[in-house]
Structure 1
């Protein structure tokens, strides 16, 4: 794992306009602990929010750069919430800038770099399901995708998601219901197209 922000952490803070900046050294021990504990979660989140595998490391660096600059503002215990909220914004920016029509994932693109590599049989069995899953999530609005990813893939509760995203539990439930409806429609459409392609092959 290469995390540039740990090698050269930025100084935090800044003074009033026209005055010398009030720099604040970054708490590198705390920063390193957060990265160690949540790197895998952050990497998976960016991938599942539609950031291509080739750009995920760049997205991670962007999120961690924001984390390092604002670390002094984040209360103890709120680090993961801050990471995910920042990841949602970064993923949204990257999705818009790429303006890709649809992401086609290669085998194992959702593999967490901290996990052991799956065997070849498992990869073959999961290939089609993963491609379908990721294409369907990629077509969701970013706010719906965030709730869907946390509930269905990270297996968080509605209450936990509400805290993580700083939104009311009712909003989580509404977004989750909409996300499931849209995901189901998109997945059915993609599956039908896949089946038609196989029949015509």
Structure 2
């Protein structure tokens, strides 16, 4: 004679809610840990990128914090391994907003570089070393956002075209073209500044 086994009782509403709360707490804990790890690994990259995209001290630190504040509520939807690309998209928006606010506070002259009291190098001299940060910032500020971002990643961060293309979510050929055009703009700027320094 078969003995019917006792049916397993269904969990009560409170038990289900408690289980859901545990799941949410675990997920939130995992996200907090992931955010801390990303901040530790990427903060310097974010700070440098903001600086090179036109956010000047002392606002750079605040802007970097803003990037992570924006990231935090969206982190769950960011695919693991794609964090840097997502962060850089935030960096570009934050830097763009900063530059717009700066433009409202001061008028930027087309002849701004004339006032920098530095020796002007020959066109072949490395820009980042010889021009100094102020002049490099001024030249970068005259580029389009797309060219400037590509140049920052490839030339200043020294990423490969493939890595930069992944971060920018753009084809490698497009990134290569932007970098090439940015180099042309920089080379032309060096020649102009050198000519001014020689009184041409």
TM-score (norm. length: structure 2): 0.69
Q: Which one of the candidate residues 146, 149, 155 is aligned to 1:143?
A: 146
Cα distance, 1:127–1:173 mapped onto 2, change above 3 Å:
closer
SS at match of 1:77: coil
Task: Tell me the CA shift for residue 62 of structure 1.
Answer: 1.6
Report whether the alignment pairs 1:55 with 2:59: yes
Report whether the alignment pairs 1:32 with 2:36: yes
Report whether the alignment pairs 1:64 with 2:68: yes
Q: What does 1:127-166 correspond to in 2, within 5 Å?
A: 128-166=131-169
Q: How many residues align?
A: 156
Q: Which one of the candidate residues 166, 180, 183 is aligned to 1:180?
A: 183
- Deviations along 1:30-89, one digit per CA (max 9) or x if unpaired, are 101100011000000000001111211121122111110100011111111111111011
Give distance in 2, aligned partners of 1:91 and 1:136.
16
Task: Tell me the CA shift for residue 133 of structure 1.
Answer: 2.0
Cα distance, 1:76–1:155 mapped onto 2, change above 3 Å:
same
Cα distance, 1:58–1:192 mapped onto 2, change above 3 Å:
farther
Q: Greater helix percent: which structure?
A: 2
Task: Tell me the CA shift for residue 129 of structure 1.
Answer: 3.0
Larger radius of gyration: 2
Report whether the alignment pairs 1:170 with 2:190: no
Partner residue in 2 for 1:45? 49
Task: Tell me the CA shift for residue 128 of structure 1.
Answer: 4.1
Cα distance, 1:85–1:132 mapped onto 2, change above 3 Å:
same
Partner residue in 1 for 2:92? 88
**Structure 2: unaligned runs, 5 residues or longer:** 1-23, 114-128
Q: Is the 8 A contact 1:158 1:169 kept in 2?
A: yes
